[in-house]
Amino acid sequence: MSRIIYLDHAATTPVDKRVFEKMKPYFTELFANPATRWTSSISKKVDEAVEEARKNVAVLINALPEEIVFTSGGTESDNAALKGVAFANKDKGNEIITTPTEHEAVLKSVESLQDFGFVIKYVPVDRKGFVDPDDVKKLITSKTILVSVIHANNEIGTIEPVREIGAICKERNVLFHTDAVQTIAHLPVDVEQMNIDLLSLSSHKFYGPKGVGALYIRKDVPIVPYMNGGGQERGFRSGTLNTTGIIGLGEAAKLGKKEQKQRENSIAEFRDIFLAKILEEIPAVYLNGPEGDRRLPGNISIIIQGIRNEPLLVALNEKGIIAGGGSACSAGKKNPSHVLQAIGVPEEDLFSVIRITIGKDNKKEDIDFIVENIKETTNQLRALSPFWEG
Ligand SMILES: Cc1ncc(COP(=O)(O)O)c(C=O)c1O
């Protein structure tokens, strides 16, 4: 296969070879069900590996192992957190606060709760996608039971002031959930320091396998289980454990903890060089979201005015460069991005977005080649475009 430059790490990451090696024996000789650990020595070994993974995930976010529940990924964790907390606390109040720039897993979950009498309040975001913690404070009433604010936006990379929002929630005795799917192992996350009660994470965003994730639930948070059955995961999430996936997630968490700073630095350096170059080389290009430290290290979301993103992405793909449109998570939708709309990107630019998300194995030596290809295709598309008068 010819060389591929993969630049869509916010959509998913490759499984790290070390993670894959760790998982392998659990597909074959160590296949047993950890639930039968009292009677079977293979099960006991698998159970120990699962608990080791739980510890690694807990250490990564400064939680206790018993506060980690394994799930099938970010979507399930978000659903479980929001619905579980809403139903467990409905006697206390019916108001939930969130933002218009959440991932669909949060937005659709809270929308579904409206049918059960819950009222959803949306805290506004500014032109860069930031929530003002004071606006959260203003929306909290005696009926508020939960606030959910994404840690960093998957489309535009804005890192929200989660710690300040968590402190406000703690002071007002309101539970606080964050979707940290894009930040785990990419930025330091500490649930204690950040006053987080519930946190969603997903393995495939940090070099682990797909279809597995975790929900952190602080001890004593009132929450109802939504998946009933055999009582696995301390009764919160029934179903035979995805042992290989969990073991992969645990290994990815361990490596993520060890290598986080180094990855963050080299990825942010790639981002800054790339961004400077693309803004210099191509006219009428602008960045969505903030610059610098308040942006995810690996995220570049730009509007290239006067073109549509699909032909550009297809042409780049032909050259072996894989980048993204706004977001990958809403399976082939043609609607404009709700995030770009919420931050006020003009209507005519909504389909001109490309998202480049950098990973630990991208090479700075490739930047010139990538920018050259984007420039060449942009020039060709603009020459054909009835909307481009440059
Ligand atoms: C911020 C955010 N939350 C949730 C999800 C969903 O995670 P999963 O793919 O593991 O269901 C994604 C996936 O892209 C995401 O970026």
- Mean pLDDT over 366-389 rounds to 94
- 26 shares a domain with 164: yes
What does the pLDDT look like over 158-169, one tens digit per residue? 999 999 999 999
- 221 shares a domain with 364: no
- 245 shares a domain with 314: no
Q: Which of 30, 59, 329, 350 is catalytic?
A: 329
Tell me if 281 is assigned to some domain: yes
What does the pLDDT look like over 91-128, one tens digit per residue? 999 999 999 999 999 999 999 999 999 999 999 999 99
DSSP classification of residue 119? E
Please identify which residue in the block is written with the tokens 């109802």: 224
pLDDT band at 328 (very low <50, low <70, confident <90, very high): low
- 239 shares a domain with 269: no
173 pLDDT above the threshold of 60: yes
- Mean pLDDT over 237-258 rounds to 98
Distance (angstroms) between ligand 1 centre and the Cα of 385 equals: 34
DSSP classification of residue 93? -
Residue ranges of alpha helices (H) inside the chain are: 17-23, 41-61, 74-88, 104-114, 133-139, 162-171, 243-281, 309-318, 338-342, 367-384
Q: What is the pLDDT of residue 88?
A: 98
Tell me how far the alpha carbon of residue 15 is from its chain's centroid.
16
Which of 234, 255, 276 terminates a domain? The answer is 255
- 286 shares a domain with 214: no
What does the pLDDT look like over 206-238, one tens digit per residue? 999 999 999 999 999 999 998 999 999 999 999
- Mean pLDDT over 6-33 rounds to 97
Q: What is the pLDDT of residue 2?
A: 79
Q: What is the pLDDT of residue 96?
A: 98
CATH number of the domain at 46, please. Answer: 3.40.640.10
Which of 238, 255, 272 terminates a domain? The answer is 255
Active site residue 329: yes
Bridge-based pairing of strands 353-357 and 299-304 is antiparallel
Nearest-atom index, ligand 1, CA of 78: 4
List for the chain the helix, strand, coil content (%; round to 5).
45, 15, 40
Which residue from 99, 153, 156, 181 has its CB within 8 A of the most atoms of ligand 1, so it is best to mutate? 181
CB of 106 within 6 A of ligand 1: the answer is no
Tell me if 146 is assigned to some domain: yes
d(CA 166, CA 177): 9
Return mean pLDDT, the chain. Answer: 96
- 240 shares a domain with 325: no
141 pLDDT above the threshold of 70: yes
Tokens representing residue 167 in the block: 């402190």
Distance (angstroms) between ligand 1 centre and the Cα of 237 equals: 19
CATH number of the domain at 341, please. Answer: 3.90.1150.10
Distance (angstroms) between ligand 1 centre and the Cα of 136 equals: 23
387 pLDDT above the threshold of 80: no
CB of 156 within 6 A of ligand 1: the answer is no
50 pLDDT above the threshold of 70: yes
333 pLDDT above the threshold of 80: no
d(CA 10, CA 271): 14
- 322 shares a domain with 242: no
Tell me if 319 is assigned to some domain: yes
Instruction: Give the residue from 348, 356, 351 showing the smallest Cα distance to 335.
Output: 351
- Mean pLDDT over 301-321 rounds to 96
Instruction: Give the residue from 150, 140, 97 showing the smallest Cα distance to 120.
Output: 97
Please identify which residue in the block is written with the tokens 């290989």: 244
Q: What is the pLDDT of residue 217?
A: 98
Tell me if 286 is assigned to some domain: yes
d(CA 14, CA 6): 10
3-class SS of residue 342: helix
- 346 shares a domain with 369: yes
- 322 shares a domain with 212: no
Distance (angstroms) between ligand 1 centre and the Cα of 11 equals: 8
Tell me if 30 is assigned to some domain: yes
CB of 75 within 6 A of ligand 1: the answer is yes
- Mean pLDDT over 321-325 rounds to 95
- 164 shares a domain with 265: no
CB of 35 within 6 A of ligand 1: the answer is no
pLDDT band at 36 (very low <50, low <70, confident <90, very high): confident
Q: Into how many domains does the chain fold? A: 2
- Mean pLDDT over 247-274 rounds to 98
The domain of 235 spans: 17-255
- 371 shares a domain with 331: yes
Nearest-atom index, ligand 1, CA of 329: 14
pLDDT band at 191 (very low <50, low <70, confident <90, very high): very high
Q: Quick one: CA dihedral 121, 127, 128, 132, positive or negative?
A: negative
Q: Quick one: CA dihedral 372, 377, 383, 387, positive or negative?
A: negative
Tell me if 390 is assigned to some domain: no
- 323 shares a domain with 215: no
pLDDT band at 386 (very low <50, low <70, confident <90, very high): confident
Nearest protein Cα to ligand 1, atom 8: 74
Instruction: Give the residue from 199, 232, 207 showing the smallest Cα distance to 47.
Output: 232
Tell me if 42 is assigned to some domain: yes
Tell me if 389 is assigned to some domain: no
pLDDT band at 335 (very low <50, low <70, confident <90, very high): confident
Which of 233, 255, 277 terminates a domain? The answer is 255
pTM of the model: 0.97
Residue ranges of alpha helices (H) inside 94-195 are: 104-114, 133-139, 162-171
Which residue from 202, 203, 207 has its CB within 8 A of the most atoms of ligand 1, so it is best to mutate? 202
